[in-house]
Structure 1
Amino acid sequence: IRPELPVIIGGHGPSSLPEYFLKAVHPVYPGRPLFSLVVSGEIEGFGELLRPGKADNRFLDLRKLNPKCDIKPMAGESILRAGRRSISITLTRGCPLKCRFCSNHICHGRDFRSSPPGMWVDEVIRINEKYGGTPKIFHLNIEDDNILFMKNDFFSFLDAVRKHYPEVSFSAENGLDYMMLEEQDIIRLKQSGFTRLNLSLAVLSEDSRNKEHRDGDPEKLEKLIHHCHKADLPVTTHFICGLDGDNREDIVKTLRFLDRLPCQTGISNFYPVPGLEGFEDAELFLNRSPSLALGSSVYPWTGALSSAQMITAFRLARWSNFRKKLLEPKEKPFPGSTGADSDTEEELFRKITGSRRLHTILKVGKKGSNRTVVPLSHLDEDMVEGFFR
């Protein structure tokens, strides 16, 4: 519509694989490129750096230019979840930790930087007013998974937001680092309005933790989860499946470890980001479909586990959560246990517990009006047997 307007693309994608986006700089129509400029690194400071001689008219790498700029909190779009407005916000940039599977540094670098904490609440107020004034009830998700580097400022921020919006609720869906949490912090998070905790286990075995440069203490995690249970604060504990060096025995141990705890199991199939250790070659991605870099593709990028084994692990995690849901509420496996939603779910529960084999509910008939329980196929039966042992 306005071909004279420049279209500039940046963010994590162009930072990790600029070659893919540079293809679109070439004209789609004569004289009309899809993108005018591809930018890597953080967008803050972009304006002051966009001067003659700083870019080759196609690509600008802000990471190499080391821009001196202020970091500002950034709130995303408002979405509705269960009738409540939900807003996500990022307060910091960068991370000094060197977890092998994490791509944060590719765009944001290794230096941890924060916007002034006083700006955090201002951004919440700004974005909230943008979407309909100042309602008393909304949900705020904190995107920073390393926000506990600034634990005192973080709790002060939660308190300040609640003063403005007493009915606000909070979450940190990317997961909090449990190594930075203590039991007294659990109570504070609950009182501040957290409705659920997402904790990042990542990997359980010590050998895998060392290989992934990841700190961890399973005994501490177990105590924290039990403390959350006593406080009626639901927990989802996340781990990664398919990392280099994984084996099915360790994955089953991880699943069994989480299955006996009062928490839900969150499982993420590993997918690489260009630039991670072992995945530095851009051609590895340029010659494959981008869909293979989705966790849902369960593509065996590292070769440590097959697709069937990763699917089996995912199904076992789902069964663990389903089993806890169907336990009698008085047993209180985790807050929110509701029992079966239908006779078909009761049948599914009986089939799996009786056969010690995984089944699922298949919808058949017009618009899936009929539901039947069927066994799952193409799984790693040794993993299933090991889990139920």
Structure 2
Amino acid sequence: MRIALIQPPLRDFYRTPHRLNALGLELVGQILRDAGCEVSLYNFPRHKQVRSLVLPKALSHLRPFLVPGERGALSGFGSFRRFGPDYDEAARLVGEGRPDLVFIGLFAWAYGEDALSMASSFRKLYPALRLGIGGAGVSVDPSRFERCGFFDLIFTGLGELSLRRWLAAGAPLSGRFDAPADACEGEKEALPAVSYHEKGGILSISASRGCPMRCRFCANRLVHGLRFRTASVSRIMAVAEKAVVDRHVRLIAFEDDNLSADRGWFLELLSALHRRFPEAWCSAENGIDYRFLDPDDLRIIFKLGFRKFNFSIASVESGERKRERRSGSLEHYARLVSAASGLGAEIVTYFIAGLPGESFDIAVKNLLYLEALPTVIGISLFYPVPGIEGFDASQIADAPFQKALGSAAWPWGGGYSTAQLLTAFRLSRLTNALMHPENDPYTSALIREVVLRRRLLTLQGRHHQLTDLPWQDRSMVLSFLEKSSRVHSFSR
């Protein structure tokens, strides 16, 4: 049986190419090949084609906030784009291989419209072709994909389990195959997923499943379950060797949601990878959970290849963390930041703005706390997916998928407006620019005008024209400028 695995073209304001590695589909392909199938994988968001698009109706609320031709350190999102070919063109490329089945992967619910557009093109051009869909985005809302009428096969939950149930049933050409989160609890060992991207020498790895933490805003457990499972180090290394062969690895990029929940296994894995690829450095852009580590662990991890640490605190407000069931001590986090800084590592710390019930002044408090530490600040604008706790499911039941993009700035939590979310986003850009304003004369001049006028500004066009942002929340801006230690240092 010939099976084509598809990562559809994506529509968004930005992409991070080195993270579009389709690890889930890589693992699915491995299982299907072991079952004797002929497999082709198409990762369309990695293609070179990029096209600017008209802002879709679901994101029309952003129109007043976009600045054409914007540039510079304080800029927001640019134009809305499609990353990858047109959907009909993508379908024709796949159709040339004459597959018996096409499986579409949906790694995030917010990209559901892209998956449906891809399926619509297949139905138009190849009406007899059998279509299946699976992935985290499908697993949290399977009925929506059943109702659309495009798909013969629906896979939910952990792909390696639901796919094996389909194979065990004789690989029928229609039906729904589920692997609910509680079924994952019996999984003894996770299967590693690995891919190698020759451009850049990037070895991407997903080596674990599940997370024992119960943060309300996180959807990980809806698909992977609460029990943390790991792949054996020997198995990971064997799969990595097969993917890399004799090619040069510059970066080992972990895509796991919680690498450090099993400290001993994590350090053993890093040691094995460092012995095999001694020149490579490591990253974990989904974050390393600081709650499982101490400063001595960071020193070991640094020696084994990590030069950048991505942490997440969710919020500096203890009440917010308690409501979201986000455990952890800020004092412990600060000790780890100090240790990482002492090693010369780069540090990025993320917080979430717009959590359900959170008031907009909390974003400024997060920024003021973090700016006192030697860390770059990453702001994540809250968005829900069906099934997460602490969120009214009726609000998202029939909502457009694209309103749940991280770039949509839709006020899901109720305590912020879109203008306040985007004010917080630009204040985080300002905070980061204040770390090293001397690096760029345009940035330095822009910050000087922001401080002088007490307003957020940006640069526009080839001549870096100073442009006002009339929609900004002045109370947030003034509160930050008046209390910011980085602003005071810059003003001196």
Output the TM-score relative to the length of structure 2. Answer: 0.68
Moved more, 311-320 or 375-384: 375-384
Q: 1:223 to 1:89 in 2, by over 3 A?
A: same
Distance (whole Å) between structure 2 residues aligned to residue 197 and residue 99 of structure 1: 21
CA deviation string 1:219-277 (max 9, x = no partner)? 22122212222211010000111001211222211110111111100000001011112
1:336 aligns with: none
Q: 1:48 to 1:227 in 2, by over 3 A?
A: closer
Q: 1:186 to 1:4 in 2, by over 3 A?
A: closer
Tell me, yes or no, if the aligned pair for 1:22 and 1:58 is still in contact at 8 Å. Answer: no
Per-residue deviation at 1:376?
Answer: 2.3
RMSD across aligned C-alpha pairs, in angstroms?
A: 2.4
Tell me, yes or no, if the aligned pair for 2:420 and 2:473 is still in contact at 8 Å. Answer: yes
2:218 aligns with: 102
Per-residue deviation at 1:345?
Answer: 2.2
Tell me, yes or no, if the aligned pair for 2:255 and 2:286 is still in contact at 8 Å. Answer: yes
Distance (whole Å) between structure 2 residues aligned to residue 65 and residue 246 of structure 1: 31
Q: 1:377 to 1:126 in 2, by over 3 A?
A: farther
Secondary structure (helix, strand or coil) at the match of 2:435 reads: helix
1:302 to 406, 413, 425: 413
Q: 1:240 to 1:21 in 2, by over 3 A?
A: same
Q: 1:15 to 1:140 in 2, by over 3 A?
A: same
Read off the aligned partner of 1:10 and give its amino acid letter.
G
1:335 aligns with: none
1:1-389, aligned counterparts within 5 Å? 1=95, 2=98, 4-5=100-101, 6-24=130-148, 26=149, 34-50=150-166, 57-63=174-180, 66=183, 71-76=190-195, 78=197, 80=199, 84-129=200-245, 133-135=246-248, 137-279=249-391, 281=393, 284-285=395-396, 287-326=398-437, 339-340=439-440, 343-363=441-461, 369-389=462-482
Read off the aligned partner of 1:13 and give its amino acid letter.
G
Where in structure 1 do 4 or more consecutive aligned residues deviate above 6 Å? 53-56
Per-residue deviation at 1:77?
Answer: 5.5
Secondary structure (helix, strand or coil) at the match of 1:147 reads: coil
Q: 1:77 to 1:58 in 2, by over 3 A?
A: farther
Distance (whole Å) between structure 2 residues aligned to residue 210 and residue 320 of structure 1: 27
Q: Percent identity?
A: 32
Distance (whole Å) between structure 2 residues aligned to residue 98 and residue 207 of structure 1: 16
Per-residue deviation at 1:280?
Answer: 6.6
Per-residue deviation at 1:326?
Answer: 1.5
Q: 1:388 to 1:41 in 2, by over 3 A?
A: same
Tell me, yes or no, if the aligned pair for 1:274 and 1:280 is still in contact at 8 Å. Answer: no
Q: 1:272 to 1:221 in 2, by over 3 A?
A: same
Per-residue deviation at 1:325?
Answer: 2.2
Unaligned runs of 5+ in 2: 1-94, 102-129, 483-492
Secondary structure (helix, strand or coil) at the match of 1:204 reads: coil
Q: Which has the higher contact order (CA 8 A, sep 6+)?
A: 2
Tell me, yes or no, if the aligned pair for 1:86 and 1:139 is still in contact at 8 Å. Answer: yes
Q: 1:171 to 1:304 in 2, by over 3 A?
A: same
Secondary structure (helix, strand or coil) at the match of 1:219 reads: helix
Q: 1:213 to 1:56 in 2, by over 3 A?
A: farther
Secondary structure (helix, strand or coil) at the match of 2:264 reads: helix
Per-residue deviation at 1:94?
Answer: 1.1
Q: 1:285 to 1:59 in 2, by over 3 A?
A: farther
Secondary structure (helix, strand or coil) at the match of 1:122 reads: helix
Tell me, yes or no, if the aligned pair for 1:347 and 1:373 is still in contact at 8 Å. Answer: no
Secondary structure (helix, strand or coil) at the match of 2:253 reads: strand
Distance (whole Å) between structure 2 residues aligned to residue 64 and residue 353 of structure 1: 50
CA deviation string 1:39-65 (max 9, x = no partner)? 101122335422559999432222179
Read off the aligned partner of 1:354 and give its amino acid letter.
L
Distance (whole Å) between structure 2 residues aligned to residue 345 and residue 125 of structure 1: 45
Q: 1:160 to 1:168 in 2, by over 3 A?
A: same
Read off the aligned partner of 1:12 and give its amino acid letter.
A
Per-residue deviation at 1:66?
Answer: 2.9
Per-residue deviation at 1:195?
Answer: 2.2
Tell me, yes or no, if the aligned pair for 1:273 and 1:279 is still in contact at 8 Å. Answer: no
Tell me, yes or no, if the aligned pair for 2:181 and 2:221 is still in contact at 8 Å. Answer: no
Output the TM-score relative to the length of structure 1. Answer: 0.85
Per-residue deviation at 1:279?
Answer: 4.5
Distance (whole Å) between structure 2 residues aligned to residue 23 and residue 318 of structure 1: 41
Q: 1:377 to 1:122 in 2, by over 3 A?
A: farther
Tell me, yes or no, if the aligned pair for 2:351 and 2:379 is still in contact at 8 Å. Answer: yes
Q: 1:109 to 1:228 in 2, by over 3 A?
A: same
Distance (whole Å) between structure 1 residues aligned to residue 392 and residue 446 of structure 2: 45
Per-residue deviation at 1:311?
Answer: 0.6
Read off the aligned partner of 2:399 and give its amino acid letter.
R
Unaligned runs of 5+ in 1: 27-33, 328-338, 364-368
Distance (whole Å) between structure 2 residues aligned to residue 4 and residue 77 of structure 1: 27
Distance (whole Å) between structure 2 residues aligned to residue 162 and residue 272 of structure 1: 37
Read off the aligned partner of 2:134 and give its amino acid letter.
G
Distance (whole Å) between structure 2 residues aligned to residue 167 and residue 4 of structure 1: 43
1:366 aligns with: none
Secondary structure (helix, strand or coil) at the match of 2:464 reads: strand
2:31 aligns with: none
Distance (whole Å) between structure 1 residues aligned to residue 181 and residue 457 of structure 2: 52
